[in-house]
Each structure stands twice: as C-alpha cells, then as structure tokens.
Amino acid sequence: MAAIAYIIASLFESGRIQQQRGQGSRGGFSQDPFEFYRQSSSKYDIPTMLMALSAAVMKADGKVLKAELDYVKQFFSQQFGNQFNSRHLQVLKQFLDSNNIPLQEICNDIRNRMPAEVRVQLVHYLFGIAKADGNVAESEMTSIQNIAQLLGVSNQEFISLKNMFYRDVNSDYKILGVEASASNDEVKKAYRKMAIAHHPDKVASMGEEYQKGAQEKFMKIQEAYENIKKSRGFK
C-alpha cells in the first residue's frame, strides 16, 4: 500500500497530460480513443484512467448532469488538492465526447497498478457518480458492472456495492453476501468476514476520498448487519 500511496501523491508531478497531441481541430479525438489515452498517459497517470471510467458512467444513460460533474470535481479536488485543475477536466471532456472509450485497455492498466481493495473503492466511487442525481439508472448499473468485471472485482463484491446504492427487500443480506435464508450463525460469520475485508485501515495510506469511500462502505456493512439483527431479534 505504501507504493500505491506514493503513486497517488506524485502522479500529478510525474504525469504529462499531452492534450494537444490528442485533439483535432474541434477539440475531439484526432484518431481513436486509445491513441489519445496512450498519448495522454504517463507511467503513473492515474487521473486520466479515472477520468475515463468517470466519463463512461456519466454518459451511460445518455445525459451528463451537473450533479454528476460536481461529484467528480469534488472527488478529484479532495483526492489531489491544488494539483487538480482545468486541464484534467479537459481530459474528462475528451472522454465524454468520445464514442468509444477504451475500457478494456484502461481497466487492464488499473488491474496491474492497483490492489484489489482499491479497485473495489473505485467501483464504490462510480456508484457515487451514478447516484449523484438521486437515482441509479439501469444503463448506469450495466456500465458499472461491466467496468467492475474488467477491473477484476468479484461478482459478490459488485452485488454488495450495488445494494448499498440500489436497494430491495433483501439488500441487507446481499451487502453481507448471504442469502435471506442463511442461519444467524452464517450471518454473523459473513459480517465478520466483510468487516475484516473492508475495514477502512485497508486504504489508510490512500487519499482522503478513498478513505471516505471505505468508511462509507464499512458503515453500510455495519448498518446491514444491525438491520438483520433487529429484524431477527438476535444479538
């Protein structure tokens, strides 16, 4: 985790976002999106990768809303501080204007550079974008699920995250990764497993927004467990 923290701390200094090479006369991609991505990305250019994923979710339902943009801006501002500026929003616009974001290549890069617990937090962040307007559309859900699969996030992890933002009668059980028919002991065991796996300390060396996302997820796990305990009447 220390190495990942170093990357996050230094990526704006190490990166070289070369927008002019990727822009045509109208500000769009001059060739294909992956060429723009390749030229825009330096060895540790995490923001470009995150902007691409953000854009994929923002445009999934066919409309880009101010609430979504504000959410993205807040995340990057809190994560990277003064090093986040209008150049990075221009990169976001490039991906929003693209008809074909190279998700496979980008997600492969992220899988090679980020540990599993951070990739789970990225999916949590993407759900936050989708929920920014108060509703997660089915098309947004499909887009996030596709990205989660490409990032190597397990289906169980995805279902757990999904039910933190998109609830139904069994959401508390799905958050813990068990069936509603599970015994009390199975529920307790599942809770302990999830609590250990997703404790905020897992991303303690990451930026503020990663930690905030991890804390929110941990609280949702605890909340789900308390709801089940209350409904079943066990301690």
Please report the pLDDT score of residue 35 as a whole number. 54
Domain total for the chain?
1
Give the separation between CA 108 and CA 140, rounded to whole angstroms: 21
The pLDDT of 176-188, averaged and rounded, is: 92
Please report the pLDDT score of residue 33 as a whole number. 53
At 29 the three-state DSSP class reads strand
Domain that holds residue 15: 2-232
Spacing of C-alpha 154 from chain mean position:
14
CATH number reported for the structural domain that contains residue 116 in this entry? 1.10.3680.10
- Whether the CB-CB separation of 162 and 127 falls below 8 Å is answered with yes
Is a pLDDT exceeding 70 seen at residue 3?
A: no
* Surface-to-core class of residue 130, CB atoms within 10 Å of its CB (0-12 exposed, 13-18 middle, 19+ buried): buried
From the CA atom positions of the chain, what is the Rg in Å? 19
Is a pLDDT exceeding 90 seen at residue 37?
A: no
Please report the pLDDT score of residue 2 as a whole number. 35
Q: Tell me which of 96 and 12 has the higher pLDDT.
A: 96
Q: Tell me which of 196 and 150 has the higher pLDDT.
A: 150
Give the separation between CA 143 and CA 74, rounded to whole angstroms: 22
Is a pLDDT exceeding 70 seen at residue 65?
A: yes
CB atoms under 10 Å from CB of 107, counted, come to: 23
Give the separation between CA 53 and CA 138, rounded to whole angstroms: 17
